Amino acid sequence: MKSSGSAPRRITILGSTGSIGCSTIDLVERNPGVYEIEALTAHSNVEKLAAQARLFRPRLVVIGDETLYGALKEALAGTNIAVAAGKDALVEAATLPADWVMSAIVGAAGLAPTLAAVRRGAVVALANKESLVCAGDLVMAEVERAGATLLPVDSEHNAIFQVFDFDRVESVERLILTASGGPFRTLARSDMEKVTPEQAVAHPNWSMGAKISVDSATMMNKGLEVIEAAHLFPVPEARIEVLVHPQSVIHSMVAYVDGSVLAQLGSPDMRTPIAYALGWPKRMAAPSARLDLAALGTLSFEAPDPERFPALRLARQALQTGGAAPTVLNAANEVAVAGFLARRIGFLDIARIVEETMDRAVAVRLSSLDDVHAADAEARRIASDLVASAG
Ligand code: NAD
Ligand code: MG
């Protein structure tokens, strides 16, 4: 609820037409007068972006795909809302003086705009885990330097953020990231060969964008999240565990030295972690279904299977190697997932191509954003060749 007399909070949503973007818009819409939108961005969905813009009247609207500039301009004719297109314009959107920025672009494409918001010391709600995977040290150094606030939106990291004792870090023994196991949790490896993009994106618990849905099916998503957690929390990789929990009710846990384990629970609806970040440091109401544990009856747990889900091992290996290895892992995965969604490669090719790209890419240290871009581009070249030769 709006506190009396306070000015509306100015917010920007990067990736406003996506799954996370639309859930954020939903919360904003439920709280009229509380938020004013500074900027909205999308990649190619002109229609949805224009509809959001007409509703919220932001200062700037950006379409990532430059060829769609004319279409967006036309769709917003007569509104006096500024329209721009292209990568630099995405950065410009993040640079406008919003108090709070939702970073919900998918993939490494979110890195530059996320960094721009971080660099001006904003409160950044981070859904775009790939920016931490491909440039975690750089992003976290900029957060520190600029005094920015990073609020994790990824449900696992948001859960940990809520139960992590930042004042007594030494008392934390382990992080336990829960994983649903995805749609192929119980499928034999031999049957994974033939699964289709439609089957892979049909997640049992969460409704999400296509890329993260495929990542959940390979469990690369959990691998990316181990890397994300290692940057967000002062806990080394060896003490970040993954636990399969098919019901997605416990979103993650923190284990303490005295044997206590603190968990955050909720129904699988991203509007809860988004509301946590949007309301922060207060709590705001969210319409997510309330947990009915008696109706659920049972929560179950199992260890992840490294044979059927090799992506988890690859992500841990990348984190241990450090330098550009996670950048390479992420870029190769983006290319392979796009190849799978386009039916150019099979499901099991995804992890194979990531592993081969990691073997072939030259190991470099990352000391600047240019280094990140170079490592990312090299990995994309290698992985694209592997996709082409697999097809
Ligand atoms: P999505 O595909 O539904 O939406 C992605 C958004 O980014 C869209 O607005 C799209 O227009 C924009 N976009 C895509 N490519 C772009 C590019 N090259 N340049 C600029 N903009 C581009 O994805 P999503 O499921 O909303 O996920 C967004 C991010 O949040 C991802 O990093 C994902 O891992 C993370 N995340 C999502 C969920 C979820 O439940 N959907 C949960 C946890 C984390
Ligand atoms: Mg997650």
Answer whether 274's CB lies under 8 Å from 20's CB: yes
Beta bridge partners of 102: 13, 125
Question: Could you tell me the pLDDT band of residue 6, with boundaries at 50, 70 and 90?
Answer: confident
Mutate which of 106, 157, 222, 276 to test ligand 1's pocket (most atoms within 8 Å of Cβ)?
106
Calculate the CA 346 to chain-centre distance. Answer: 24
Report pLDDT digits (tens) over 289-326: 999 999 999 999 999 999 999 999 999 999 999 999 99
Answer whether 106's CB lies under 8 Å from 221's CB: no
The closest alpha carbon to 111, from 378, 371, 384, belongs to 371
Looking at all shown ligands, the one closest to residue 251's CA atom is 2
Among protein residues, the one with the nearest Cα to ligand 1's atom 31 is 106
Cα(319)–Cα(257) distance, rounded to whole angstroms? Answer: 25
341 lines ligand 1 (CB under 6 A): no
How many angstroms separate the alpha carbon of residue 124 from the centre of ligand 1? 15
Among protein residues, the one with the nearest Cα to ligand 1's atom 41 is 208
Q: Could you give the 3-state DSSP secondary structure of residue 101?
A: strand
Cα(221)–Cα(37) distance, rounded to whole angstroms? Answer: 30
Answer whether 104's CB lies under 8 Å from 22's CB: no
Looking at all shown ligands, the one closest to residue 155's CA atom is 2
Which pLDDT value is given to residue 332?
98
Among protein residues, the one with the nearest Cα to ligand 1's atom 23 is 209
Which pLDDT value is given to residue 22?
98
104 to 15, 18, 255, 298: CA distances (angstroms): 5, 8, 29, 33
The DSSP result for 191-228, as a single string, is HHTT--HHHHH--SS----HHHHHHHHHTHHHHHHHHH
The mean pLDDT value of the chain amounts to: 96
Report pLDDT digits (tens) over 188-242: 999 999 999 999 999 888 889 999 999 999 999 999 999 999 999 999 999 999 9
19 lines ligand 1 (CB under 6 A): yes
How many angstroms separate the alpha carbon of residue 274 from the centre of ligand 1? 14
Report the range of poorest mean pLDDT among 91-95, 206-210, 344-348, 361-365: 361-365
How open is the CA angle 161-222-133, to the nearest 5 degrees? 75
List Cβ neighbours of 388 (8 Å cut-off, separation of 6 or more). 344
Report pLDDT digits (tens) over 125-172: 999 999 999 999 999 999 999 999 999 999 999 999 999 999 999 999
27 lines ligand 1 (CB under 6 A): no
Residue 47 has pLDDT above 80, yes or no: yes
Cα(333)–Cα(350) distance, rounded to whole angstroms? Answer: 7
Looking at all shown ligands, the one closest to residue 157's CA atom is 2
How many angstroms separate the alpha carbon of residue 74 from the centre of ligand 2? 37
Report the range of poorest mean pLDDT among 2-16, 59-73, 81-95, 186-200: 2-16
Q: How many other CB atoms sit within 10 Å of the CB of residue 135?
A: 30
How many angstroms separate the alpha carbon of residue 16 from the centre of ligand 1? 9
Report pLDDT digits (tens) over 319-335: 999 999 999 999 999 99
154 lines ligand 1 (CB under 6 A): yes
Which pLDDT value is given to residue 1?
42
pLDDT > 90 fraction of the chain, expressed in percent and rounded: 95
281 upstream amide cis, omega within 30 of 0: yes
Cα(143)–Cα(164) distance, rounded to whole angstroms? Answer: 19
Looking at all shown ligands, the one closest to residue 242's CA atom is 2
Q: How many helices (H) and strands (E) does the chain have?
A: 17, 11
Answer whether 308's CB lies under 8 Å from 217's CB: no
Question: Could you tell me the pLDDT band of residue 4, with boundaries at 50, 70 and 90?
Answer: very low
Answer whether 44's CB lies under 8 Å from 65's CB: yes
Domains and CATH numbers, the chain: 9-152 (3.40.50.720), 322-391 (1.10.1740.10)
> Which two tokens mark 215?
């990542």
Task: Evaluate the CA torsion angle 289, 294, 296, 300 in order and state its sign.
Answer: positive
Question: Could you tell me the pLDDT band of residue 3, with boundaries at 50, 70 and 90?
Answer: very low
42 lines ligand 1 (CB under 6 A): yes
List Cβ neighbours of 247 (8 Å cut-off, separation of 6 or more). 180, 205, 296, 298, 299, 300
